[in-house]
Amino acid sequence: MTSPRREPALVILPIAVFLSAFLLFQIQPLISKAILPWFGGTSAVWTVCLLFFQTGLFAGYLYAHLIAARLPRKAHALLHLALLAAAVILLQVLPDAAWKPTGGDAPIHRILAVLTVTVGLPYVVLSATGPLLQWWYSLLAPGRSPYWLYALSNAGSLLALLSFPFLVEPNLTLRQQATGWSIGFWAFAALCGACALRVALLPGAGNLDDSPVQTPELPPTLIRRGVWFGLAMVASAMLMALTNHVSQDVVFPFLWVLPLSLYLLSFILCFESDRWYQRPAFAFLSAAAVLGLCWMILHGRKLSLANQAGIYFSCLFVVCMLCHGELARLRPGPRFLTAFYLTLSAGGAAGGLLVAVVAPLTFNDYWEFHVLVSAVALITVAVGFDSTGSIFGESATPWFVKLAAVGLLGAVGAMLVKTTRDRDEVLAIRRNFYGVLKVAEALQTDQSPDAELGNPPWEGPANSIVLRHGHILHGLQYAEPELRMVPSTYYSERSGAGRAVAALRERQAQLRIGVVGLGTGTLAAYGHGGDALRFYEINEDVLALANEHFTYLKDTLADVDVVLGDARLSLERESPQGFDLLVVDAFSGDAIPIHLLTKEALGVYLEHMAPDGIIAFHISNLYFDLRPVVDAIAETRGLSTATIEDRGTVYPGDATSVWTLVARDPSILEAEGIAEAAQTPQSKRVLWTDDHSNLFRALQ
C-alpha cells in the first residue's frame, strides 16, 4: 500500500469531507427559504425542514453504517459511486411550481414530500459522507484517529451557515444560489468518487469487522447506546424548540441560522479536542443556563428581541456543550465509529420528530420547551454529581453541589407551577402547524394594546376579549354591546385602513373589500348593507376562534366570505375580484411574510383591483422598517403611495399602527382624510422580489 504520507487520497479526502459539510448546511437555508412562501411564511416551515434534515442525516448515517459493516470494501465503494452518479443525474435544487399547495394540503406532509423529491437523494449522499469517509480514512491511514475529520466537517457546516445570511443571501438571487450549489455538488461528487475508486483498489475484500483498524474494544452496551441517543435527542430537540420559541414573534431566517450555528460550534469544540469541555465548569454553566431559561419563560417577554435572543442562544450553546461534551467523552474507537454516528443521528432525528410532529399533536401550547428545560436540569444534576466523583468514583459529593441540585430542580418546579396557573385566565387555546393561538379576557389597565406588548399577555382595556399569536396581538373586541362593532387595535377609524374606507365611501355607497389575514375579523366592522368582504386566511383555527369568541363576522351588515389557504396562492388561482380595497395584513409573528411584499405579489394584487381602488399594507413592526419595501414595489409599477401613522388615542383599545396606501389613481390618495395624515415621502427604497430579498436592509 502507498505510504500514508504519500497517499493522494488522503489529500483529496479532507477536501471532500469539508465540501460535503459545507453543501449539506448551505442547502438547508436555501431550500427552506425557497419553499417558505408556499406555506404561509411561518417559522414552522423551518421546524419541519429541520426535521427533514435530521431524518436525512440519519438515513445517510444508516446507509454508511450498513455498507461499511455488511459489504466488502470494493462492493461498498462501487455502490457509493453509483449513488453519487444517480444524485448528479437527478439533481434538482429548486422545486417545481407544480408542488405548490392548493389550500387543503397537510403542510407537514407536503413540505416533507417537496424536500424529498428535490434534494432528498443529494442530501442523503452528503449526509453519508462524514462517517463513510472517516471510515475510509481509517482504511487508508491505519492507526490514525479519524475524529479530527468530524471537527473539520462541522467547521465546513458552520462556515456554510454563517456565510448564507451575510454573503450568499444578500448578494445572490435564489436561482444563482441554486446554480452555485449545483456546481459545488458536482465538484464534491468528483472528489468523493476519486476516493471511492481508491478504496475499491485496496487489497483484500474485508468489511468493517476484519479491517486493519479493528481494535480489541468490546461493543458498546445497550445503556451506553441509550446515553448516546438521549444526549443527542435532547440537544437536537432543544435547538428546534428554542428556535421555535424565539421565532414565533418574528419570521427572520437569520434567527434560524444563528442557533444552528451555535449547535454546530459545540460539536466542533467538543470533538476537536478534550480541552474545550470541562465537566465541572459546564455543569455549573448549565445550571445557570437552566435558571436563565426558567426566568426567560416567565419574564422574558419584557425584554427586546435582541436581548431575548442573546440570552436564549447563550443558554442553548451551554446546553449543547454539555450534551455534546458528554458524547465526545463517551465516543468509541474507530471500530464502532459508524454505529456511534448512526446513534447520534437517530437521536437527532428523534428530537426533531418530537418538536415538529409529536409536540403539536400532543400539546396545545409550547410545553415541549418546558419539558426539555426539565430534562436539561436532570442531565445537569447527573453530570454535576458525576464530575465530583460521587457516582463512578469514591469521593463524597460536596454540600454545595447537593444544595445547587435541590435549588435547580426547585426552580424548574416553580416555573412549571407558575406557567400552569397563568393558563387559568385563558378562555381558549389552539395549536396547529402555524403556532399557538390564545383567547382571553383582558385585565383592567389604562394601557393601549401596543403599549403592553412586552407585559403580561392579557393586559388591555377593561371589558374586552383579545386574540394573540405568541405575544403578538391579533385582535380585540369590546364586551359592551354599544362598543362591540367599534373597530379597534390597528384598524381604528383614524388608522390607514379606516381612512381608506372613508375615502372610498365618499365616492361610492357600496364597497367590495378583500382582506389578507382574518384575525378577529375586525375589518368587518366597516361593512355596510350591500358591501362584500372577502377574507383570506391560511389558519383554520383563526377562523374557528373568530366565530366562537368574537362577533365581528356575525354582526356585520356586509356579505362575508372566508377563503382558507395562503392568500397569494388563492388570489393567483382566482378570477379578478374587482376589489375597491385590498387590505394586506397577514401577520406571521410580527412581520408580513416576505412573499406578500414582493414586486410579483403586487402584480397579483393589481389583477384583482378596481381601477380606482386602494391596496392598504399594514406595516406596523417592532423590528423591520417595511415602508421602503412597499414604496419600492409600488414605484416599479408607477403607483402612488401614502403612509399614515396612527397613535391610537381615541378608544382604549386603539393601537399605534403604520399603513402604506397604494393606488393607481393618485387623486384617491389626495382625499382630505388621507392627505391630512400622510407622512413626508422617503427616498430610501428596498426592493424585494420573489427571487431576492434582503431582510438586513429592512431592519429598523
Note the pLDDT tens digit of each residue in 405-425.
Answer: 666 777 777 677 766 666 657
Among 526, 560, 568, which Cα is nearest to 543's?
Answer: 560
Query: Side by side, which strands form the sheet with 426-432?
Result: 426-432, 435-441, 464-469, 472-478
Backbone angles phi, psi at 366, to 5 degrees: -80, 55
Q: What is the pLDDT of residues 596-638, one digit of tens each?
A: 999 999 999 999 999 999 999 999 887 788 999 999 999 999 9
Portion of the chain with pLDDT greater than 70, in percent = 86
Nine cell digits for residue 573: 388561482
Amino acid 320: pLDDT: 95
| Paired sense of beta strands 609-618 and 579-584, if any | parallel
**Which position has the grid cell 356575525?**
554
The tens digit of pLDDT for each residue in 73-119 reads 888 889 999 999 999 999 999 998 888 887 656 688 899 999 999 99
* Max mean pLDDT range (157-166, 460-469, 663-672): 663-672
Least confident of 271-285, 309-323, 415-429: 415-429
Long-range pairs for 569-578 at CB < 8 Å and ≥24 separation?
A: 569/38, 569/100, 569/101, 569/102, 569/103, 570/103, 570/536, 571/536, 571/604, 571/605, 571/607, 571/608, 572/604, 574/608, 576/607, 576/608, 577/512, 577/514, 577/534, 577/608, 578/512, 578/608, 578/609, 578/610
- In which band, very low, low, confident or very high, does the pLDDT at 401 lie, cut at 50, 70 and 90? low
Give pLDDT, residue 33: 87
Nearest to 465 by CA among 550, 364, 544, 526: 550
479-537 pLDDT, tens digit per residue, is 888 889 999 989 999 999 999 999 999 999 999 999 999 999 999 999 999 999 999 99
- φ/ψ of 565, rounded to 5, equals 130, 170
CA–CA dist 284, 318 (Å, integer): 10
Query: Domains of the chain by range and CATH?
Result: 1-212 (1.20.1250), 215-412 (1.20.1250), 424-478 (no CATH), 490-698 (3.40.50.150)
| Overall average pLDDT of the 666-691 stretch | 92
* Mean pLDDT computed over 267-276: 83
- CA-nearest of 596, 594, 612 to 604 is 596
Give the phi and the psi of residue 80 in degrees, each rounded to 5: -70, -35
Has residue 455 got a pLDDT over 70? no
For residue 150, what pLDDT band results from cuts at 50, 70 and 90? confident
Give alpha helix (H) positions in 465-561.
496-507, 540-549, 552-555
Q: Are 345 and 61 in contact (CB under 8 A)?
A: yes
- Contacts of residue 60, defined as CB under 8 A and 6 or more positions apart, other chains included, come to 123, 124, 125, 126, 127, 128, 129, 345
Question: If residue 148 lies in a helix (H) or strand (E), which one and from where to where?
Answer: helix 147-163
pLDDT in tens, 116-130: 999 999 999 999 988
Three-state secondary-structure class, residue 348:
helix
Q: Report phi then psi at 70, rounded to 5.
A: -110, -25
**In this model, does residue 694 exceed pLDDT 90?**
no
Amino acid type, 336: F
Specify the pTM. 0.84
Burial class (CB in 10 A: 0-12, 13-18, 19+), 15: middle
Name the pLDDT band for 667 (thresholds 50, 70, 90).
very high
Res. 215: pLDDT tops 60: no
- Min mean pLDDT across 121-125, 370-374, 454-458 is at 454-458
Q: Is the pLDDT of residue 449 over 70?
A: no
**Is the pLDDT confidence value at 592 over 80?**
no
Residue 210 has what pLDDT? 46
Reported confidence tier of residue 474, pLDDT bands at 50, 70, 90: confident
3-state DSSP assignment of residue 560: strand
Best CA proximity match to 443, nearest among 460, 419, 422, 426: 460
pLDDT of 187 over the 90 cut: yes
The predicted structure's pLDDT at residue 216 = 57
The torsion angles phi and psi of 136, rounded to 5 degrees, stand at -65, -35
Q: DSSP string of 634-659?
A: HHHTT-EEEEEEE---SSTTB--EEE
What is the mean predicted confidence (pLDDT) over 183-196?
A: 95
Share of the chain above pLDDT 90, in %: 45
The H-or-E segment that residue 579 falls in is: strand 579-584
Integer Cα distance of 37 and 53 in angstroms:
19
Counting Cα atoms < 13 Å in the Cβ hemisphere of 666 gives 5
5 has a pLDDT exceeding 70:
no
The pLDDT score that the predictor gives to residue 207 is 53
Contact 591, 624 (CB under 8 A): yes
537-590 pLDDT tens trace: 999 999 999 999 999 999 999 999 999 988 999 999 999 999 999 999 976 555
Q: For residues 13 and 4, give the distance between their C-alpha atoms in angstroms, rounded to a whole number.
A: 12
pLDDT at 391: 45
